[in-house]
Structure 1
C-alpha cells in the first residue's frame, strides 16, 4: 500500500508528538484555539503507518532499508 520511508526514531518521535498534541486538545489547553491541536492526527497517523507523503514528494528516507 505505502512504501515505508521513515526510520524507527522518526516514527517514535512522530507518535509521541502526535499523542501529546491530541492530549492537549482533549485537556482543553489553548482555550478557543485548542482545535489547532488536532493537527496531531497527522504525525500520529504517519508515524503509525511508517510512511510520510511529504517525504515521498521530496525524496527523503529516514529508514535504513534500501
Structure 2
C-alpha cells in the first residue's frame, strides 16, 4: 500500500482513535461497541495509508513527500 496520509492527518486519526477507544472503558454497555470503531483510525494512522483515500484519489502528504 502506498502512503497517502500526512502528519497532520495522522495526528487527527490518532486522536479520534483514542477517543473512540475510550468508549470501551468509560460509557455504559449499550453504546460501548463504538469503541471498536476506534481501531480503524488507529490502524490507518499506523499504516500511513487509507484505502478510502486511494479510491477517492486523495493524498494529504506534503508535495516533497509525494515525489519520493
**Which consecutive unaligned segments of at least 5 residues does structure 1 have?**
none
Aligned residues: 64
**Which consecutive unaligned segments of at least 5 residues does structure 2 have?**
none
Q: Which runs of 4+ in 1 moved over 3 A?
A: none
Matches of 1:30 and 1:9, distance apart in 2: 32
Of structures 1 and 2, the one scoring higher in RCO (CA 8 A, sep 6+) is 1
- Name the structure with the higher helix share: 2
Give the TM-score, by structure 2 length: 0.84
Give the TM-score, by structure 1 length: 0.86
Matches of 1:23 and 1:33, distance apart in 2: 12
- Taking only aligned residues, the RMSD between alpha carbons, in angstroms, comes to 1.2
